[in-house]
Structure 1
Amino acid sequence: MKIKNLFFLAFLLVGLAVNAQVRASVSSKTYDLETVKFTVDGFVFTLNADGSIADFNAPDLNGKLEYYDDQVFDKVKYGKLKSIGNVKIDYWEDSTFTKEKAGKLKRLGNISVDYWEDSAFTEEKAGKVKKIGNLAIDYWPNDIIDNSKMGKLKTIGSIVIDYGAKDVIDQSKYKKLVKFGPVSLDYYTDSFIDENRNGQLKSINGNSEKISVSVL
């Protein structure tokens, strides 16, 4: 019994470690955030910078693939994956109240997925992922002075994301990722002696096994 408990504890600790891993990728041309990978209940989700789900996978996701095949009753689901093995997949229906969500992933196994609705206060978020399981996701609102961040990822759970703002004197960080949780990115600001380097990524600090940023 003790050995079984030990194995269960080891499995639980591994699961917690995997769930804690978050991997962000940045464009080597624009230095803007491109994708973020994170794990929710054993599934690895890839979230695009525009708030859409690029893909999902799991190490033990095996089995026969079934598809929605009724053109009349399935409509927005038609041709999409219905299940992989024992994991069922569902999508949002099209209605007056779900027009921003129609056809998008609604449920993956026991994981529910929700999206921001369109309103006067959420216009820049409309249709973007709002929640995956218990993980909340938010985006930068409009700013009268500088709206360059508008609609960009702002938070994923407790991870705060920030970008370079407008600066009359220094444009080296403008619209570029400067903060992803504990990870900070700095850029060259020399526009006189070595102007070719101005705006290029200078350093990344704060990467760890838990949260990291890479340039692709």
Structure 2
Amino acid sequence: MKLKNLLLFAFVLGSLAINAQVRATVSGKTYDLEMVKLTVEGFVITLNADGSISDFSAPDLNGKVEYYDDAVFDKIKYGKLKSIGDVKIDYWEDAVFNNEKAGKLKSIGNITIDYWDDSTFTSEKAGKVKKIGNLNVDYWGDDIMDNSRWGKLKTIGDISIDYGTKDIIDQSRFKKLIKFGPVKLDYSDDTFIDKNKYGQLKSIQGNSKDVSVSVL
């Protein structure tokens, strides 16, 4: 499927899938965070666990669809969505000091998107989304004792995100999502009576219409 058709399909699919202001999805196999759907200024933006944006949509987004079609002056944008109706879409140009951003989504209408630069102190964040509108996005950095969370999403706005770390006695939560804002996830640590369920998701507490976590 061509990129422009894929993005258009994502617009339609995304507008049907959102039921909460912030909705996180966890893998049903690894229980690791996979993606987060954020509602920003009426748009639903999908932020993947790797710090990339895969799609965006809006319930009332209608109008003519246009693409960047100048292969010379818009080389890095060529073939990508340019506008839908009155909503303009732009992408970061290539430059010496921001090559981690080159070709990535820069703006959707009035929503600006920025990315982390690569540096000695931010290698785990390089090229990942740093800001969506007024929402700051951060990632877990180096940990001398345990780097199992390295590079994973840590905060989105005022939502803090945490994962199970190494535990000599209990590995049931290791690398799994245990906290997403007010939502807590717990896992079975029974190694005797119900040992076949060890490590499986046992409960989710704290879901609401504003922030929710679902398992896929």
TM-score when normalising by structure 2 = 0.89
Q: Can you list the C-alpha shifts for 1:114-137, whole angstroms capped at 9, x where unaligned?
A: 000000111000000000111111
Percent identity between the two aligned chains: 75
1:2-32, Cα deviation, whole Å (9 max, x unpaired): xxxxxxxxxxxxxxxx9x8211110000000
Task: Give the superposition deviation at 1:81.
Answer: 0.4
- Please state whether the residue corresponding to 1:138 is helix, strand or coil: strand
Q: What is the rounded CA distance, in whole Å, between the counterparts of 2:96 and 2:142 in structure 1?
A: 25
Aligned residue in 2 for 1:3: none
| Cα distance in 2 between the residues matched to 1:171 and 1:41 | 40
Q: Distance in 2 between the 1:158 and 1:67 partners?
A: 35
Secondary structure of 2:76 counterpart: helix
> Which residue pairs with 2:112 in the alignment?
112
Name 2:62's counterpart in structure 1.
62
| Partner of residue 128, structure 1 | 128
Q: Secondary structure at the match of 1:76?
A: coil
Displacement of 1:207 in angstroms is 0.6
State the distance in 2 between where 1:166 and 1:180 align.
19
Amino acid at match of 2:159: I
Name the structure 2 match of 1:102: 102
Q: Distance in 2 between matches of 1:75 and 1:143?
A: 40
The one-letter code matched in structure 2 to 1:78 is Y
| Distance in 2 separating the partners of 1:21 and 1:73 | 38
Question: Following the alignment from structure 2 to structure 1, what is the Cα–Cα distance between the partners of residues 61 and 171?
Answer: 46
Alpha-carbon separation, structure 1, partners of 2:34 and 2:61: 25
The aligned residue for residue 194 of structure 1 is: 194
- In structure 2, the partner of 1:23 is 23
- The structural deviation recorded for 1:192 is 2.6
TM-aligned CA deviation for residue 54 of structure 1:
1.2
| SS of residue in 1 equivalent to 2:88 | strand
Cα drift, residue 158 of structure 1: 0.2
Written as runs of structure 1 = structure 2, the 5 A alignment for 1:1-216 is 21-216=21-216
Unaligned runs of 5+ in 2: 1-17
* CA distance in structure 2 between the aligned counterparts of 1:185 and 1:169, rounded to whole angstroms: 19
Question: Which moved further from structure 2: 186-195 or 105-114?
Answer: 186-195
AA paired with 1:165? T
Letter in structure 2 aligned against 1:150: W
Distance 2:210 2:64 in 1: 33
Q: 1:106 is aligned with what amino acid?
A: K
Amino acid at match of 1:156: I
TM value normalised by structure 1: 0.89
Q: CA deviation at 1:107?
A: 0.9
Alignment deviations for residues 37-81 of structure 1 (CA, whole Å, 9 cap, x no partner): 111111110110001001100011111111111111111101000
C-alpha distance in structure 2 between counterparts of 1:80 and 1:211, whole Å: 31
Q: What is the rounded CA distance, in whole Å, between the counterparts of 2:76 and 2:199 in structure 1?
A: 44
Q: CA deviation at 1:194?
A: 2.3
Q: Which residue of 2 aligns with 1:8?
A: none
Equivalent position SS for 2:196? helix
Q: Higher Cα Rg: structure 1 or 2? A: 1
How well do the aligned residues superpose, as a CA RMSD in angstroms? 1.2
Match for 1:43: what amino acid?
F
